[in-house]
Amino acid sequence: MARFTTEVALRWSDMDAFGHVNNNKYLVLLEEARVAMMFTVAEAAGVPGFRQGVVVARHEVDFLLPVTVPADVRVELWVERAGNASFTFAYELFADDKLALRAKSVMVPFDTVEERPRRLTAPERAFLARWDG
Amino acid sequence: MARFTTEVALRWSDMDAFGHVNNNKYLVLLEEARVAMMFTVAEAAGVPGFRQGVVVARHEVDFLLPVTVPADVRVELWVERAGNASFTFAYELFADDKLALRAKSVMVPFDTVEERPRRLTAPERAFLARWDG
Amino acid sequence: MARFTTEVALRWSDMDAFGHVNNNKYLVLLEEARVAMMFTVAEAAGVPGFRQGVVVARHEVDFLLPVTVPADVRVELWVERAGNASFTFAYELFADDKLALRAKSVMVPFDTVEERPRRLTAPERAFLARWDG
Amino acid sequence: MARFTTEVALRWSDMDAFGHVNNNKYLVLLEEARVAMMFTVAEAAGVPGFRQGVVVARHEVDFLLPVTVPADVRVELWVERAGNASFTFAYELFADDKLALRAKSVMVPFDTVEERPRRLTAPERAFLARWDG
């Protein structure tokens, strides 16, 4: 029952003219959490394939609360599903410890040499299985 | 059976280190299409309420094709559903005339003085009804 | 006495929480003008080297007027100086035909294989000489 | 001889298609350092005027080294000059402890009610005098 938890730093310019963090900026924050897991942590664990290429196939995002800067933001991330050639992240984003956003992303490993999707390897599946929510 | 169609300009910096338009930047492009309809066109049609406040409650985005800069991008936007206090946009984004992305957004009119959601007005509902897909 | 003139599209999200186009976004707009000249126009003129690598060594930017969205933005760009291994762009940015910003950028051609600066070629110098302000 | 030092978090999407942090993103990082000093620290010190409005009149930025993500970035900031109605910040940005960028920004306090520049107050001048480099 593990989640990957990471703190992400808001920037003042994440706010738009309405004075709230703009909806598209949350996607950047979620990307930071994914990158920390899939690139940095995975590579340190001997699983470098994601850094070499992985694309987003789908996002679903529910915005629950507006956020203003400054706020302490924490993203909790886990793997909801891992198939042969894709997997699904689920996220909860907390601002000052209040749940502000829920999201899911369908991810596809991508072979950037062949320029096409590829299957997950066994070590990748084992790595993803650690973060089971 | 009308769609609101607008051309949006890509920027070189919309590409990320993988050399494709980053997934979060598409949200910015969809926002440009919404803003053109809800702020500029609606206001010119005597419907200024959206500009005074409207928030995104949910996004669903399916990424179908990678896009590189330069490309001619066109967003087609329509209203899939209009309820009492929210409505749903549907979008198709075309890059060089190829369908690259489909998305939906649930939108909520927001009273920025009272700081709470509000109901759609009759003129707003009539305006939205024009763009029936 | 030629200037390279290009229209760049503002985005609603270029505004920050003060309701004006944020200072860093102008740099993105100037980049759009540079890219249009150095990548698209130069390549079409048989001068592909800039697209393969060119870095910014210095920016100077004077902000003369605040800009809000929507506004029609035009960037005028010319080459103030071309040396052996660097050159200087000068810019004027107009919002609704009012001069809103003046800037200069020192640019350095960069060999991305050798990972080091390189000299300008004769065709590059001839191309730059067209835009003499 | 004090500098205001702050760590700023890079984001993966700060890199552009050349695989380096894009030049305009450094301006965002410098803004984070200014905001931390002028909004958060100044307000805590009983000097709230900057948060109510301050604009950038000029930037000068020298790019010394390319930066890739991940890197630990630290911005050191001080006040080089404080006049009656403007002041000048100087910055050094370090990536993994190497000096990667030097910059200066001319700042103007701005009265957002009257929509015009205003003079520095005595407490603002005293606050700025702390950070003398």
Task: Kindly report the nearest CA distance between residue A13 and chain C, in angstroms.
Answer: 6
Condensed to tens digits (0 to 9), the pLDDT of residues A51-108 reads 888 999 999 999 999 999 999 999 999 999 999 999 999 999 999 999 999 999 999 9
pLDDT tens by residue, chain C, 133 residues: 799 999 999 999 999 998 999 999 999 999 999 999 999 999 999 999 998 889 999 999 999 999 999 999 999 999 999 999 999 999 999 999 999 999 999 999 999 888 899 999 999 999 999 999 9
* Helices assigned H by DSSP within C1-133: 23-35, 42-44, 122-129
**D128: closest CA among D72, D75, D90, D95?**
D90
pLDDT of residue C9: 98
Judging contacts by C-beta atoms under 8 Å, the chain D residues touching residue A32 are 11-12
Residues 6+ apart with CB under 8 A from B108: B54, B55, B56, B57, B85, B86, B117
- Go through B78-97 and write b for each residue having 16 or more CB atoms within 10 A of its CB, e for each that does not: bbeebeeebbbbbbbbbbee
pLDDT of residue A113: 85
Kindly tell me the burial class for residue B27, based on how many C-beta atoms sit within 10 Å of its own C-beta (0-12, 13-18, 19 or more): buried
- Which of C18, C27, C55 has the CB atom closest to D27's CB atom? C27
User: CA nearest C13 in A: which residue?
Assistant: A16
User: Distance between CA atoms of C22 and C11, rounded to whole angstroms?
Assistant: 11
| Contact yes or no for B59 and A57 at CB 8 A | no
Which domains does chain D show, CATH number per domain?
4-129 (3.10.129.10)
Does B23 reach chain D within 8 Å, measured CB to CB?
no
Residues 6+ apart with CB under 8 A from C113: none
pTM of the model: 0.95
Q: How many residues does chain C have?
A: 133
Does C51 reach chain D within 8 Å, measured CB to CB?
no
Residues 6+ apart with CB under 8 A from D108: D54, D55, D56, D57, D85, D86, D117
Does A59 reach chain B within 8 Å, measured CB to CB?
yes
Alpha carbon B70 to its chain centroid, in Å, reads 22
pLDDT of residue A112: 81
Does the predicted interface ipTM exceed a cut of 0.90?
A: yes
Helix pair angle (C23-35, D23-35), 10° resolution:
180
The residue with tokens 């067209």 is C130
